[in-house]
Structure 1
Amino acid sequence: MKHLNKLLVAVTMVMGLSSQAQDSNNKWAIGFGVNAIDYRSSAGDDFMSHFDQPFKVSDNWNILPSVSYLNVSRYVGSGFIVGVTGSINQIDKFVTAPNVVVNPGDLMYYGIDATLTYSFMELLKSKVIEPTLSVGGGYTFLGDESYGTVNPGLGLNFWFTENVGLSLLGTYKKSFGDRQYAGTDTPDAPSYTQYSAGLTFKFGAKDTDNDGIYDKDDACPEVAGLKQFNGCPDTDADGIEDSKDSCPDVAGLAALNGCPDTDGDGIADKDDACPEVAGLPALKGCPDADGDGVTDASDKCPTVAGPASNGGCPELDSDKDGVIDKEDACPTVAGPASNKGCPEVTEQVLEELKVQARAVYFVTGKAILATADKGATDGRLEAIKEILKNYPNAKFAIEGHTDSTGSAKINQKLSEDRAKVVMDKLIEKGVNPANLTSAGFGSSKPVADNKTKEGKALNRRTEIRHVGSVYEGKL
């Protein structure tokens, strides 16, 4: 049993080494099974006598009915494999002379062998059948004796899967030494033939991303991918691997590096400023209906050609005032260039505003338009609106004023509210709110003597100011 311990220690050491090198595609293998030993080689020096009765199993072979060998091997490249095998058997058929078989008693056999094997699998380009040719050396422990051997061998493996196969091996072990074995007449260390059959498991391959492609052959070992792309992914399944796909998350065209072209204008959506409408490359995929070089989205006149400097519109002067529309703040109303094409407020207009404004009245002491003549009041506000809308670039300030009756605080609030009422009414009628402001000044800016009834009536007023001009209306 001391030799069995040696065998187990040796195999354990080899397996320990294998666990440190499992970093390539299935370069390691472990096999186990049964072995048979034929000692016809001990019957003489005739080499062929070793094989003249190869299949007399019951007469010549020693077979231990259990797992009796263990092999660990590593592929080193170019079809070559190195391995170590440990085997055990019990010898009860020992051939001492031609056709003379004796039972030497409880004679235990232990063997440990190192082998260099050449596999013809790559040469044959087969994935199932693997013939092998091997040579190596080992050490045999037979009873209390031991000796070395030289071991040529032939093998054949059948692979059920990439990693699992049936292994058959025949090895002739030529011995060296001079021993006398109990129960035999054999003075020399006996040569013998050993046969084995068992299962082999290849391992060591690493597939980090579990895509079925080993890391060594996987161009993207940490991301699951496809075999046709060497393990790299094609997320959008457009037939272009992600690393070469400019739009990896959206299926697209090979001609556009995997990007889609929704409008079919030959410009990838990611580069197309108008991806749903066919357009021109020069305009980043946007259309230009009038062909003036300005995209329809930016063209103020998309159906009429015009220069970009004019927003794509022709150099029009709709109101014929000598100011082209693009520079005319009032393109539909004639006015001088000095006032950006808008009409200027004339003395006649100022007088008309003054007349209308003076006729706007409020309920005494309140910011409520007088209802006694509601139609007339609304007509005056309408007239003021019609005047103001002709001057779209003019700014007007509506100011409220009171006489000195009552407290200053009440008069201030009343003047502010009345000015705002007039402004709100004009806005309701369509005057641009951006052109109007309102403010109240209470009784702080009288225009007449508050000591007389007539003076107080003049001080209760609304003023509409335009660039320093004042239009007064009676309050």
Structure 2
Amino acid sequence: MKNLSRLFFVAVLIASFSTSNAQDKNNPWAITVGANAVDFYPVGEDAPQGDYFDEYFNVEDHWNVFPSLSTISVSRYLSDGFTFTATGSLNKIDRFGSNTDAFGVETTNKVDDYTYFGLDGRVSYSLMEVINSKVIDPYVGIGGGYTWLDDSGAGTLNGTLGFKFWISEQLGVDVNSTYKHAFENSTKKHFQHSVGLTFKFGGTDTDGDGVYDQNDACPEEAGLEIFNGCPDSDNDGIQDSKDDCPNTAGLAEFNGCPDSDGDGVVDKDDKCPTVAGLKTLAGCPDADGDGVADKDDNCANEAGPAANNGCPWPDTDGDGILDKDDKCPSEAGTAANNGCPEVKPTEEVMKTLNNYARTILFQSGKASFQKSTDQVLQAMTAILKEYPKADFSIEGHTDSQGSSSSNQALSERRANAVRDYLIANGIAADRLTAAGFGESTPIANNKTAAGRKENRRVEVKLKN
């Protein structure tokens, strides 16, 4: 009956402990229930006790193990990793160190079954953040308490080393070892080892959304954990406070607003919300690409300026200069000459023309073109068409390899091949002449490969 009274007293004291702050960010309180073992041996005393930490894990000979529920703790978080814990424990002591007989044989020192009660408090510091773990939670602690051994008792100064293994946010396993230094001989200093299950609890969640108030940016409005407790009414993955269209599911790139036709213009700003269009035209399409929205375009399938309601201005001579701006509307010309034809090309134009001509490539030893030369000849043709009043001479040249007569003939054939292409592509035959100069007028050293490459060329000359 006396022991039951002591146990009841311990339980009342444990239940009465209270501090401010939280167990962690979400759980102010924790309860641990488990079993404990008491060891009087490795405490630095003479026999029947032994040196500090001697045979520290000698469970069979020295540990007094109470196999059933024998330890209960209540904890509350203080701040910055510190926690206060109150613990009550019960045990039966039938081993107290060891004896050595005259033959040097060491045996366990058996004692009568003493009843052991402990009431302790400690402040511990978690090293969980130090080791950067979310599962293993090592800690150290210091505190004190009072321990009863049968009818006698003594105050103790305690030091604890332990760790918790968190199975979930609320449930973990707590393993620790505490050294208790007694201040009276009636209760010897000793180690107490404990293992138990820890349950964290106590967070406040006003809106019931599973996010505790201290972490809930919207504590009175049910929301989602990924948004710190704030709601997402349309379930589009964007919380309402950042959603420009909170009641209509939309896209993050548009701050939660929808774009039904997928044209990159949100529906609320789209003048054609059901038909994909262009951002520059407020979401409306432009089939002919003239910059006039189809709904405003009188020629929706034919490009034209907005000034003419999307219909094209006429260009009678096809020179790219509209008749309204063309001073020679019936005769193809150039923009630089206001739509009228240029009489003669400038030096700059002739330089450009010859830059093209020198890149004409022929099959080796032949007057037939390589495939890649077609684009070059097309560019030359376009330039000559800009000057319908001008006449040109096409001149062919070779390097010095081979006989002079064969080089002369090859240069003539190549010059005529270029002339024939230009005539076939719209240049009047009477505007063009062709001549070959063989190897007679080199522009580089024929003794090097690079020089010979430069000498194999076609040139275009403006005729007076």
**TM-score calculated relative to the size of structure 2:** 0.52
Residues 69/132 of structure 1: CA separation in 2 closer, same or farther (3 Å cut): same
Q: Deviations over 1:437-469 (max 9, x none)?
A: xxxxxxxxxxxxxxxxxxxxxxxxxxxxxxxxx
Alpha-carbon RMSD across the aligned residues, in angstroms, is 3.9
Residue 114 of structure 1 and its aligned partner are, at CA, apart by: 0.4
Q: Does 1:136 align with 2:149?
A: no
Equivalent residue, structure 2, for 1:57 = 59
SS at match of 1:252: coil
CA contact (8 A) 1:50 1:193 kept: no
Paired AA for residue 15 in structure 1: A
Residues 85/276 of structure 1: CA separation in 2 closer, same or farther (3 Å cut): same
SS at match of 1:14: helix
Instruction: Give distance in 2, aligned partners of 1:66 and 1:25.
Output: 31
CA contact (8 A) 2:21 2:79 kept: no
Residues 166/267 of structure 1: CA separation in 2 closer, same or farther (3 Å cut): closer
Residue 280 of structure 1 and its aligned partner are, at CA, apart by: 11
Q: Deviations over 1:262-299 (max 9, x none)?
A: 46787644466875578999999999xxxxxxxx99x9
Residue 40 of structure 1 and its aligned partner are, at CA, apart by: 1.7
Equivalent residue, structure 2, for 1:32 = 33
Q: Does 1:66 align with 2:64?
A: no
Equivalent residue, structure 1, for 2:14 = 14
Match of 2:181 among 167, 170, 174: 174
Q: Deviations over 1:11-69 (max 9, x none)?
A: 33433556998796123111111111112267825996242122322221212221111
Residues 239/97 of structure 1: CA separation in 2 closer, same or farther (3 Å cut): same
CA contact (8 A) 1:7 1:112 kept: no
Instruction: Give distance in 2, aligned partners of 1:279 and 1:59.
Output: 86
CA contact (8 A) 1:139 1:148 kept: yes
Residues 243/95 of structure 1: CA separation in 2 closer, same or farther (3 Å cut): same
The aligned runs of 1:139-158 (5 Å cut-off) are 139-158=146-165
The aligned runs of 1:26-425 (5 Å cut-off) are 26-40=27-41, 44=45, 49-95=51-97, 99=106, 101-179=108-186, 189-209=187-207, 211-254=209-252, 256-262=254-260, 268-270=266-268, 275-276=273-274
CA contact (8 A) 1:42 1:96 kept: no
SS at match of 1:66: strand
State the structure with more CA Rg.
1
Q: Deviations over 1:46-105 (max 9, x none)?
A: 996242122322221212221111011112122111100000111111237675644432
Q: Deviations over 1:294-319 (max 9, x none)?
A: xx99x9xx98xxxxxxxxxxxxxxxx
Q: Deviations over 1:185-228 (max 9, x none)?
A: xxxx4111111111111112344555543332222334444444
Paired AA for residue 203 in structure 1: F
Identity fraction in percent: 49
Residue 234 of structure 1 and its aligned partner are, at CA, apart by: 2.6
SS at match of 1:11: helix
SS at match of 2:68: coil
Residues 113/274 of structure 1: CA separation in 2 closer, same or farther (3 Å cut): same
Residues 97/230 of structure 1: CA separation in 2 closer, same or farther (3 Å cut): same
Instruction: Give distance in 2, aligned partners of 1:239 and 1:174.
Output: 58
Residues 198/283 of structure 1: CA separation in 2 closer, same or farther (3 Å cut): closer
Residues 199/265 of structure 1: CA separation in 2 closer, same or farther (3 Å cut): closer
Paired AA for residue 35 in structure 2: V
Residues 43/121 of structure 1: CA separation in 2 closer, same or farther (3 Å cut): closer
SS at match of 1:67: strand
Paired AA for residue 28 in structure 1: W
Q: Which runs of 5+ in 2 are unaligned?
A: 101-105, 286-293, 299-464
Residues 22/124 of structure 1: CA separation in 2 closer, same or farther (3 Å cut): closer
CA contact (8 A) 2:118 2:145 kept: yes
Paired AA for residue 183 in structure 2: F
Instruction: Give distance in 1, aligned partners of 2:44 and 2:114.
Output: 18
The aligned runs of 1:451-470 (5 Å cut-off) are none
CA contact (8 A) 2:207 2:221 kept: yes
Instruction: Give distance in 2, aligned partners of 1:258 and 1:75.
Output: 40
Q: Deviations over 1:220-242 (max 9, x none)?
A: 33444444422323333433211
Residues 162/255 of structure 1: CA separation in 2 closer, same or farther (3 Å cut): closer
Paired AA for residue 87 in structure 2: T
Instruction: Give distance in 1, aligned partners of 2:260 and 2:63.
Output: 78
Residues 170/256 of structure 1: CA separation in 2 closer, same or farther (3 Å cut): closer
Residue 150 of structure 1 and its aligned partner are, at CA, apart by: 0.7
Residues 253/167 of structure 1: CA separation in 2 closer, same or farther (3 Å cut): closer
SS at match of 1:243: helix
CA contact (8 A) 1:7 1:111 kept: no
Residue 138 of structure 1 and its aligned partner are, at CA, apart by: 0.7
Residue 121 of structure 1 and its aligned partner are, at CA, apart by: 0.9
Q: Does 1:5 align with 2:12?
A: no
Residue 136 of structure 1 and its aligned partner are, at CA, apart by: 0.8
SS at match of 1:134: strand
Paired AA for residue 123 in structure 1: V
Instruction: Give distance in 2, aligned partners of 1:103 and 1:264.
Output: 85
Residue 130 of structure 1 and its aligned partner are, at CA, apart by: 1.6
Q: Which runs of 5+ in 1 are unaligned?
A: 180-188, 288-295, 304-475
Instruction: Give distance in 1, aligned partners of 2:22 and 2:139.
Output: 23
CA contact (8 A) 2:44 2:50 kept: no
Instruction: Give distance in 1, aligned partners of 2:81 and 2:269.
Output: 52
Aligned residues: 287
SS at match of 1:248: coil
Instruction: Give distance in 2, aligned partners of 1:42 and 1:260.
Output: 73
Residues 43/262 of structure 1: CA separation in 2 closer, same or farther (3 Å cut): closer
